[in-house]
Amino acid sequence: MKKTIFLISFLLLSLVYQAQELNRPTKKVYRDTTSIDMLDIRIGYHGVVTFHPGIKVGVEYPLRRKIKEIPRYPILSRMDVMNGKGSKTIRKELIASLNSGMFYHRQNHSGFFINFEAEKRRTGRKGKYRGFSFGLGMLRTFLGPTYELDESDQFKKVFLPGRFYFMPSFSYTHGWNFMYKKTIPTAIFYKLTYFMYTPYNNSANMNFAFELGLRVKMLKNHLKHE
């Protein structure tokens, strides 16, 4: 009798397991070009060492997007699978962006810059994302009223005092993208940037910047999956 009960229980568990296997979604990885936001514009507060206020604007373009659909358990029914409840979606993108901005260092100088950044971004199922980026740019500083001695030992005001610097940077971004829910075509983010500029006193100077901004969808592509 015990053997019979054991066999019946084993068969029932096997049937339940097989039924779950039928409903179990498989892991999918594919390159996606559907509804890629071909051009986003972003704008935000850009503070050098936080205390030197400024502004930064830019546009970004997704060079590549890879989507990974990973099964999530338990799965309640085949309808859950059809509605996407049986898996979580992770988007990995390579983003190129072109940016420009300025900041003001009180009683010292103003800075204007332009840079190009390449960012690896990961977006989760609910739109939360993070990214790491590397940038190359140019910084131009403008000093306050500056004078120099001319050949006749007279003080002469310098026109547009300041200089150009080469400016590489490394950044970490954390944000919330509402575009994937198809409700609000925007995303909000904060960004921490470590940058250096050279030549500075025959060497280089290092600094940090904090950015708080908004991304807005501008143009869209309508290609199909590849």
Q: What angle do CA 30, 31, 34 make, to 5 degrees?
A: 115
Structure confidence at residue 13 (pLDDT)? 57
Average pLDDT over residues 42-68: 89
Query: How does the average pLDDT of the chain come out, rounded?
Result: 79
Let me know if residue 212 belongs to a domain: yes
Asked if residue 24 has pLDDT above 80, the reply is no
Asked if residue 223 has pLDDT above 50, the reply is no
Let me know if residue 13 belongs to a domain: no
**Long-range Cβ contacts of 138-141 (<8 Å, 24+ apart):** 138/113, 138/114, 138/164, 138/165, 138/166, 138/167, 139/111, 139/112, 139/113, 139/164, 139/165, 139/166, 139/167, 139/197, 140/111, 140/112, 140/113, 140/164, 140/165, 141/109, 141/110, 141/111, 141/165
Let me know if residue 129 belongs to a domain: yes
Asked if residue 12 has pLDDT above 50, the reply is yes
**179 in helix, strand or coil?**
helix
Asked if residue 224 has pLDDT above 50, the reply is no
Asked if residue 116 has pLDDT above 70, the reply is yes
Asked if residue 158 has pLDDT above 80, the reply is no
Let me know if residue 161 belongs to a domain: yes
Q: What is the pLDDT of residues 127-156, one digit of tens each?
A: 899 999 999 999 999 887 777 777 777 777
Let me know if residue 1 belongs to a domain: no
Where is pLDDT greater, at 51 or 8? Answer: 51
Structure confidence at residue 145 (pLDDT)? 76
Number of domains in the chain: 1
Which of 14-18, 68-72, 155-159, 173-177 comes out lowest in average pLDDT?
14-18
Asked if residue 204 has pLDDT above 60, the reply is yes
What is the CATH number for 126? 2.40.160.20
Let me know if residue 4 belongs to a domain: no
Q: What is the pLDDT of residues 86-95, one digit of tens each?
A: 567 888 999 9
Let me know if residue 207 belongs to a domain: yes
Range of the domain at 159: 26-219
Asked if residue 119 has pLDDT above 60, the reply is yes
Let me know if residue 6 belongs to a domain: no
